[in-house]
Structure 1
Amino acid sequence: MHDLIEALLLGIIEGITEFLPISSTGHLLIAERWLGHRSDLFNIAIQAGAILAVVLIYRERLWQLAMAFLRPGHAAAMADARVYGQPPREYAYRLAAAFGVTAVLGVLVKKLGFELPTEVAPIAWALLAGAVWMVLAEQLAARRAAVLGERAAITWTVAILVGVAQVVAGVFPGTSRSAATIFVALLAGTTSRAAATEFAFLVGIPTMFAAAAYELVDVVGSGEAAHEDWSALGVAFVASAITAFAAVKWLLRYIQTHRFTVFAVYRAVLGLALLALVPAAD
């Protein structure tokens, strides 16, 4: 029972933090210091739960983009065929470009043998640096929006930079993939918070699916899956999916009328608290 409760907590942490701009990897690495390290398969499962939640939320948009390829004539005739002012097929090409950049750079990082740090200190510093980056980026983005007006279209530049940002966030736990991608989009020309956030989340779907599949192949090949606690894994998967669904739904409503400042404050407070606890934690 104790193990199931720990799995439940880890699933909830993953679900809440995966798409909020506060770093899921950083939170999980810290949580595992007290709740115990989990297998790679377990981590894949809770990430898959979060991905499933976002797929369900954006199911209509994903269907629209799929139809743009499968039935382009039908999609073009639809009144809602455009995605933030762009034809669905054009928007989908931008998504593919962002994912392609992430895939190529991600494989390169893997080949170089990069491993995530397990110490608290670098995660804490990344949280603090990310807090400062978010405040400055939002100020710059607001000034650009005042000058350029509302721009929701995703350009090729935005798509490529979002792809790079995903890899940078993966290399430095505590950075936050969603924070990096959303603010890169805002600074690169997409002044609409809603449009930048949706593109960042949609790019995250194939990226996270690919990363989970890559890790799953290794796990199955190593025989690790045979020793997995499937009850705990199932509990964590469901908890992650439910909490991610609620967290993303809340965030999409929140950003309609609020800035991201509250997340920057949270990151700063957490980062400082972790630095204060580093001697005890390590």
Structure 2
Amino acid sequence: MDYLQAIILAIIEGITEFLPVSSTGHMIIASSFFGIAHEDFTKLFTIVIQLGAILSVVVLYFKRFFQSIDFYFKLLIAFIPAVILGLLFSKKIDSLLESPVTVAVSLLIGGIILLKVDDWFNNSSETEITYSKAFKIGLFQCFAMIPGVSRSGASIVGGMSQKLARTSAAEFSFFLAVPTMLGATLKKCYDYYKAGFILTDDQINILIIGNIVAFIVALLAIKTFIGFLSKNGFKIFGYYRIVAGIVLLLIHFFIHPLTII
């Protein structure tokens, strides 16, 4: 991976991490086009730069992270399902991360769901998140272990299914990203450390630049997304996912196979 590729992937991460379009799916596709997706460092990079993106949540919602201890208990409860399933099915998840076709199909199916979400939950208007709602949102987030299923999209839909307003569901999804992405990053780093993977100075610099870029872009993306979502809903993201999924499948089967391994 060179610096330009790292910056492009970081921009993709910053834009897509908090949009219901799947940041992991987009980075898998982009890195496969670059021909670097099979590299161990690339797989590490796509996880670690999520730290930069989630740091933007802490900065934008700084006061909310110090509102009450109850807030942290709700995040913990929502985080537990992902921890359990992640530990149980980590190898299966890693194998799915090597399938651009899985990403394309997930984009397509998720897009169809997003076209219907506003109609399904058009009466969702509550703002209070109970412990029960937090846990159920955490269960929905687990669908994002399938590449191409957006973590933010799954958790936002989970929130709306519990009658939360779109903006309240989106904000809780942002907050939930902090422990989820932090946990995923630490686990991946530990796995690579145990395997004896040693970073070069150049790779460390690439990780630093990637996190900075992802942080800056994510700041802008979150501000834009909340305003857009409250006014327009999910349909445009649904159409985008459907088009992206179809295009990727056409490329894979009729033009050139998208391979990672």
Q: TM-score, normalised by structure 2?
A: 0.89
Alpha-carbon deviations, 1:20-63, whole Å to 9, x = none? 11001110110111222251432233111111111111111002
Aligned pair 1:135/2:112, yes or no? no
Q: Deviations over 1:93-114 (max 9, x none)?
A: 3222111222222222227675
In the alignment, structure 2 segments of 5+ residues that lack a partner are none
Q: Does the 8 Å contact 1:14/1:50 carry over to 2? A: yes
* Distance of 1:226 and 1:204 partners within structure 2: 26
Residue 86 of structure 1 is matched in structure 2 by none
Counterpart residue number, 2:245: 271
Structure 1's 100 and 117: CA in aligned 2 closer, same or farther, altered over 3 A?
Answer: closer
Deviation at 1:248, TM superposition (A): 0.8
Q: For the pair shown, which has the larger CA radius of gyration, 1 or 2?
A: 1
Count matched residues.
Answer: 251
Amino acid at match of 2:133: V
Distance apart, 1:232 and its partner CA: 2.2
Equivalent of residue 53 in structure 1, options 56, 81, 89: 56
- Return closer, same or farther for 1:240/1:126 CA change in 2, 3 Å cut-off: same
After superposition, the C-alpha distances for 1:100-157 in whole angstroms (9 at most, x for unaligned) are 2222222222276752242322211110100111122221100x33xxxx31111333
Per the alignment, residue 44 of structure 2 pairs with 41
**Residue of 92, 112, 127 corresponding to 1:152:** 127
Verify the 8 A CA contact 2:117 2:234 in the aligned structure 1. no
Task: Determine the C-alpha separation between the residues in 2 that align with 1:237 and 1:112.
Answer: 27
Q: How far did residue 225 of structure 1 move?
A: 2.9
- TM-score with structure 1 length normalisation? 0.83
Report whether the alignment pairs 1:281 with 2:257: yes
Q: Is the 8 A contact 2:24 2:46 kept in 1?
A: no
Cα gap change, 1:210 to 1:139, in 2 (>3 Å): same
After TM superposition, the runs of 4+ consecutive aligned structure 1 residues lying more than 6 A away are: none
Q: Does 1:197 align with 2:173?
A: no
Equivalent of 2:149 in 157, 170, 175: 175
For the Cα contact (< 8 Å) 2:27–2:46, is it kept in 1?
A: no
Counterpart mapping for 1:106-117 below 5 A: 106-110=86-90, 115-117=95-97
Amino acid at match of 1:34: F
The match for 2:103 is 123
Give 5+ residue unaligned stretches, structure 1.
70-88
Identity %: 33
Partner of 2:11: 12
1:247 corresponding residue in structure 2 = 221
- CA RMSD, Structure 1 to Structure 2 (Å): 1.9
Which residue of 230, 240, 253 corresponds with 2:204? 230
Q: For residue 226 of structure 1, what is the amino acid of its counterpart?
A: L
* Aligned-partner Cα distance in 2 for 1:216–1:273: 33
Q: 1:165 matched to which residue of 2? A: 140
